[in-house]
């Protein structure tokens, strides 16, 4: 059974940084994808960043390019999201997601392509 547990959320002032972590257990897919999504109240879930577990290629949503970085540890058991230059509009619940099958790069930031999700961690950015 795949389990994903996020941590690292919190409150920060605009311009600050946070690093989110997602600890995985039972996840061994080597040619699939992992990603971070976020959802603010009243808004749809948005793909923030994704990584191909096969090639290691990374992908970002337009709103976070140049500010956020997705990565994995060498053992590929923990997923990270380094968030810099945070803005109030980054305020949301952040979710870690994992797919156990191949995901096309064209769909890698689509929530419906992921079949396992964490419980989420809240990020609040104040102005």
pLDDT at residue 25 tops 90 = yes
What pLDDT does 29 receive?
A: 79
pLDDT at residue 121 tops 90 = yes
Region 26-43: mean pLDDT is 93
How far is CA 50 from each of CA 32, 36, 95, rounded to the nearest angstrom?
11, 6, 12
Predicted confidence band of residue 30 (pLDDT cuts 50, 70, 90): confident
- β-pairing, 78-83 with 68-72? antiparallel
Structure tokens at 123: 């990020």
Report the alpha-carbon distance of residue 90 to residue 102 in Å, rounded.
28
pLDDT at residue 28 tops 90 = no
């Amino acid at each position: 059974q795949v389990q994903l547990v996020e941590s690292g959320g919190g409150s920060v002032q605009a311009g600050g940084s946070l690093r989110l972590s997602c600890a995985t257990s039972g996840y061994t897919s080597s040619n699939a994808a992992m990603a971070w999504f976020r959802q603010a109240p009243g808004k749809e879930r948005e793909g923030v960043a994704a990584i191909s577990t096969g090639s290691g290629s990374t992908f970002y949503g337009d709103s976070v390019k140049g500010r956020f970085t997705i990565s994995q540890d060498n053992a590929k058991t923990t997923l990270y999201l380094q968030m810099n230059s945070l803005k109030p509009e980054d305020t949301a619940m952040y979710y870690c997601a994992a797919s156990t099958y191949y995901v096309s790069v064209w769909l890698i930031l689509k929530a419906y392509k992921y079949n396992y999700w964490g419980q989420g961690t809240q990020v609040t950015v104040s102005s």
